[in-house]
């Protein structure tokens, strides 16, 4: 079975977490989505690129969530979420997904 890249999981967690919080009106529920996707992405990053890279990408994921809030005041909520999701996805691709040379990737 093909593996879903950590970049896709992380971006989906950031965008999906915000969408769930916004459209249900329940911020904690959005946080559950954000945390669950972050945990799945972190496990994937660890398997593909090792613990130091996984820790750095997990830190970036967490920081991106935090930075999206002040950025939203400047550019709007959805553009902010898409910007940070794109940044995390790009970093994930560059440092974990692209470097994956496991047999499952072929």
pTM equals: 0.90
CA–CA separation, 104 and 29 (whole Å): 33
Can you tell me the mean pLDDT for 90-101?
86
Would you place residue 99 in the very low, low, confident or very high pLDDT band (cuts 50, 70, 90)? low
pLDDT recorded at residue 102: 53
pLDDT of 103 reads 47
Round to whole Å and give the CA distance between 23 and 37. Answer: 18
How far is residue 15's CA from residue 83's CA, in Å, rounded to a whole number? 10
pLDDT in tens, 32-69: 999 999 999 999 999 999 999 999 999 999 999 999 99
């Amino acid at each position: 079975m093909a593996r879903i890249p950590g970049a896709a999981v992380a971006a989906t967690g950031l965008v999906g977490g915000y969408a769930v919080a916004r459209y249900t009106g329940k911020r904690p529920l959005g946080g559950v989505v954000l945390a669950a996707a972050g945990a799945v992405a972190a496990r994937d990053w660890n398997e593909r690129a090792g613990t130091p890279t996984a820790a750095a990408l997990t830190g970036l994921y967490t920081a991106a969530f935090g930075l999206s809030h002040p950025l939203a005041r400047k550019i709007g909520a959805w553009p902010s979420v898409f910007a940070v999701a794109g940044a995390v996805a790009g970093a994930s691709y560059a440092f974990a997904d692209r470097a994956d040379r496991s047999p499952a990737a072929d």
